Amino acid sequence: MELKKIKRALISVFSKEGLAPIVKKLDELGVTIYSTGGTQKFIEKQGVRVERVEDLTSYPSILDGRVKTLHPKIFGGILARREEAHLGQLEEYQIPEIDLVVVDLYPFEDTVANTSDESAIIEKIDIGGISLIRAAAKNYKDVAVLASKDGYDDFLDLLKSQSGSTSVADRKELARRAFRVSSHYDTAIFHYFNEEEDWTFNQSILKNEALRYGENPHQAGVFHGDLGQNFEKLHGKALSYNNLVDIDAAVGLMREFKEDKPTFAVLKHTNPCGLACRETVLDAWKDALAGDSISAFGGILISNAAIDLATAMEIDKLFYEVLIAPDFSQDALEHLMKKKTRILLKIKSFDGPKRLFKSLLNGVIEQESDLKMEKAEDLTVVTSKSPTDEEVSDLLFANKCAKHLKSNTIVLAKNEQLLGMGCGQTSRVDALKQAILKAGHFGFDLEGAVMASDAFFPFPDCVEIADKAGIRAVVQPGGSKKDQDSIDYCNNNGMAMVMTGTRHFKH
């Protein structure tokens, strides 16, 4: 393995954290260091000799620091191939070879996150730094590049282990990391200017976490993102791919109830199988579990209210994978943590992405997130009989649940409790029959319950079956050419029907 000695380095960084050991090691190795501005002053404070970029270029830093390193005597030394023709030009124009470039870019993303001041944001678009990174990475056969403070520790180990020398393999890996940094940086700038008006697909997430496996043990899996922005993990084993998919579904469902009275949901394979709103979190848990105590085994549990000890003790009787809540009392937490593998997440926000995308075939499909949810004023009564206030409350509850079940889906509910659901069926009639069967299996009386459908009824068969089961009110989006057939059946049999005008398919 042929090693190349670092003789000259250019250092220009925003964050100085962790830089001192590197500059001291470079100085110890006899490397000439070039720098400017705040980085130069920082290096000098470390007692390390530094050559001023301005002395090399014979130009000062100008335009309020916007132009410092953009000069042929800098970029020539970085981009020159170490071959006779290029080296001859360097000698002719008195340009020193630069073997190492160390950069940490202006914090553009942090600035966008912390201010709406456009002028401040624009000033944090790094020009010189990103140009240095790209130049050094392009010429990796001769130049090493360190493109982020996140790589300081690894690079210091490399300097120590190889006495200030690098192999072409080392430099190529550093170039790969550098282009990763520059690509992500440019993507963040694009998204700031794009303002979601352009459907150009351009995503970049630097942080990632390897998962034990993907959906199945023979599939590799990775999570790209920072879960710490959404949750504080309080306890339990590492989250799996399937855990994350279910957690996403659980948060999406509870987003609909985040401002409501205590609500508890149980999900299995992304589908809510138990859901209830009550005056206390304990009662909400008990009635959610009653909706399907069998499917709840090994499920994902989520609440919009803090978990107290009494609720924790009841929950602890069930085997579950994940419990999510906005808070836990200390005694509840201590009790729940006795089970070593149970995952406890304290949710920081129920907010979700504005757009969703997934890969398929040889591309990606993207859509706006379904953030619409109907309120009482959005319901249009289409039958001669209007639903009672209690039925309206149940209809809205059932409609929220139906939105988060796989299509085709039917939800049966009463007193803000999920009594039965059918989901993922190729026939809406089959979904209804499944919902009735589940409700009966768990001992629920459907007399006076309501029904919600994620899409319209093409025939009156569903309302007829529902009527015979005791259902008294129905909510559906409408939109079928044969809507009137279902309306007529309801009118002839004393049922109330409301339409929302909004379909909530979920595939």
Q: What is the 3-state secondary structure (H, E, C) of 472-504?
A: CEEEECCCCCCHHHHHHHHHHCCCEEEECCCCC
Contact assessment for residue 40 and residue 50, using Cβ atoms and an 8 Å cutoff: yes
- Annotated catalytic residues are 138, 269
Strands 51-52, 32-35: pairing kind: parallel
Q: Are strands 263-268 and 51-52 parallel, antiparallel or unpaired?
A: unpaired
Q: Residue 85 carries which side chain, given as an amino acid letter?
A: A
Kindly tell me the sign of the dihedral angle through the C-alpha atoms of 40, 44, 48, 49.
positive
Helix (H) or strand (E) holding 176: helix 168-194
Dihedrals phi, psi of 68, to nearest 5 degrees: -130, -50
One DSSP character per residue, 40-98 reads HHHHHHTT---EEHHHHHS---BTTTTBSS-SHHHHHHHH--SSHHHHHHHHHTT----
8 A C-beta contact, residue 385 and residue 488: no
**How far is the C-alpha of 255 from the C-alpha of 87, rounded, in Å?**
63
Distance CA 194, CA 200 (A): 9
Kind and range of the H or E run holding 171: helix 168-194
Residue 425 near residue 434, CB atoms below 8 Å: yes
